[in-house]
Amino acid sequence: SEESMKHKLFLTMGILIFTIHCGKKINISMVTSTSMESGLPFEILKGNEWKAEKGAEFVKVHFYADEAFALSKVKIESCAGSFKDRVAAYVNFDEVYGSTDIQKLNDEVVFEPVVQARSVTLNFQRNQDICLKGVKFFDEKGNANDRVWIQEG
């Protein structure tokens, strides 16, 4: 019927707009860390607080995606104040390197030009008492990729 067709068209348009507005999906199948105090580092992507061992230095957190994704920036959300030392970010292990700017907010790593990332490793250098409440990946248009799918167990 015509009414049913209008309903399907409306539903399809809604899904399309939602998908375009919300950005691309990143599937993260593994998150590891060299130091853990409060649970698994997957908590970072869930928006929960995660901590490394008290006093640990050179803590690394590794994010492994199922497929490569466009990456223009990584934003690191600390729950323990700003970082004293820069934070290094390695894309695809060592293909591309970037770091935060300690003269500024010291919580973002920008990649210019945009890179295709399969993995991202954050090295917190001499920062201690690492407490994170989020890590956001930004796409080639500068949009935060809030559609991170975590594949646990």
pLDDT tens, residue by residue, 76-134? 999 988 899 999 999 999 899 999 988 887 899 999 999 999 999 999 999 999 999 99
In the prediction, which pLDDT does 18 show?
A: 41
Going by C-alpha positions, the residue among 138, 115, 22, 127 that lies closest to residue 85 is 127
Q: What is the pLDDT of residues 30-77, one digit of tens each?
A: 999 999 998 899 899 888 999 999 999 999 999 999 999 999 999 999
- Rounded to the nearest angstrom, the gap between the alpha carbon of residue 56 and the centroid of all alpha carbons in its chain is 22
List 110's β-bridge partners, or say none.
Answer: 73
The pLDDT of residue 146 is above 90: no
Instruction: Give the chain's mean pLDDT.
Output: 84
Coil, strand, or helix at residue 131? strand
